[in-house]
Structure 1
């Protein structure tokens, strides 16, 4: 069971919103209205950990260890929303999200295969680590810079926790888990080719609600994410390369073989898929 170990590790690393955020260093002259608006959008996006947790608990009823870990992940992700809202409450109260705006991103996600969902969220944590690191560099106001640094470090730790559960899944399910992780890893590492940075919050998750079935589509400003990434924080090719590199490095360790390019990951995916197909092939009756 990983939950006791992860609880201890994350408990030691946890920051305190009252004592570890330098609220007294706020410099209003270095916060623009445009920057404050992006903080509101990120606060609401972080609130979507609520429906994500409901999805995880529903789809992982067979796994009490992982479900217990959700208590940590949910707490820390909701704290992300809370610290961003506290920043706005103190310094831009007119932009603090309303309860209705927060509730709009709580909707049901369709059931999905747990292994694929685990990998999807691992990649999401790798991406969000870099998004928040980039946001911290973009902002000019010292308090929000410090907040985004804390959030980035949290997301990196969450990615590490998901990786431990992925290793556990491989020990239990073998190539079935490898195939699921390689398939979703290839999708998430190929964001540049798809024309948009793939993240759990901008993927469609409820067929009956399409097209309003992504977290981003339910924000007050549904077009915000693309503008934030491209025009505002300028999450460009070097930043994207860090995301892809992080995914590939971790998969190399997970699969115990060097996977340095997307092409190498695709070859590995095909190899494992072929192995699974061969394993599950129905033997021909003897003549």
Structure 2
């Protein structure tokens, strides 16, 4: 099982909301209403770890090890929402999300293949790591800068743990897992379409379409694109860091040279051909 050691490592890295956030450094002259609104939207988005956890537990009922890890992931993601709301409560209470606004992002996600979902969230954690790094640079107020830097480190650790479960999946089911990871990797590493791709803005409930993404349930559904494009300026350089992180880890995981999205697409096509011809290695 991975969970016992993962618990130890994450427990050792855990930060304390009262002691490790420099609340006394707050400077009201360095925060704007525009920035406060983005903090609110991020807090609500982090709250959507609730329906994501419900999805993971439902779709991984046969995997108690991974489901146990969800207890840590859920706790830390909800803590992210809480620390952002605590910032607003202390310094701009009029921006604190209401319980109704938080509850709106809790809705059922359609069942999906476990391996594809695992890869999607691995990529999502890498992307969020860099989104929060960019947000920390955009903000000038020291307390919120420190918060985003702290959250970024958490998301990077989460990506590393998802990677461990991906490696375990390859050990257990071999090429079936490799093909699933390559399929999602091609989608998430496409620099032309993947800029804003993250589990919170993908369609997840066909009966609710088009109001079936977490972002569509925010008080301001168009916030994410503005945040990326005109506020934190998540440009091609930042996007390249996301893509390189995905490709570098997949290259190691799949034990094949993958330097570009084209390399990954070629690998996926080869695996798909083998699957169609019944040549994939058995589980």
Q: TM-score normalized by structure 1? A: 0.96
Name the counterpart of 1:238.
237
**Alpha-carbon offset, residue 278 of structure 1:** 2.5
Distance 1:196 1:145 in 2: 23
**Alpha-carbon offset, residue 280 of structure 1:** 6.1
Distance 1:274 1:222 in 2: 39
Question: 3-state DSSP class of the match of 2:128?
Answer: helix
Name the counterpart of 1:186.
186
**Deviations 1:120-148 (CA, angstroms, capped at 9, x unpaired):** 00000000000000000000000000000
Distance 1:88 1:258 in 2: 46
Name the counterpart of 1:198.
197
Work out which of the two has the higher radius of gyration on C-alpha atoms and give 1 or 2. 1
Name the counterpart of 2:8.
8
**Deviations 1:16-46 (CA, angstroms, capped at 9, x unpaired):** 0010000000000000110010000000000
Written as runs of structure 1 = structure 2, the 5 A alignment for 1:133-144 is 133-144=133-144
Name the counterpart of 1:255.
254
Distance 1:83 1:150 in 2: 10
Distance 2:149 2:252 in 1: 26
**Alpha-carbon offset, residue 259 of structure 1:** 0.2
Distance 1:59 1:194 in 2: 27
Question: 3-state DSSP class of the match of 1:279?
Answer: coil
Name the counterpart of 1:224.
223
Name the counterpart of 1:53.
53
Q: What's the RMSD between the two structures over aligned residues?
A: 1.0
Name the counterpart of 1:213.
212
Contact 2:124 2:198 in 1 (8 A): yes
**Deviations 1:233-282 (CA, angstroms, capped at 9, x unpaired):** 0000000000000000000010011100000000111111222223269x
**Deviations 1:50-92 (CA, angstroms, capped at 9, x unpaired):** 0000000000001000000000000000000000000000000
Count, aligned residues = 280
Q: TM-score normalized by structure 2? A: 0.97
Name the counterpart of 1:88.
88
Distance 1:234 1:276 in 2: 41
**Alpha-carbon offset, residue 196 of structure 1:** 4.6
Flag the 1:278–1:249 CA change in 2: closer, same or farther, 3 A: same
**Alpha-carbon offset, residue 194 of structure 1:** 2.1
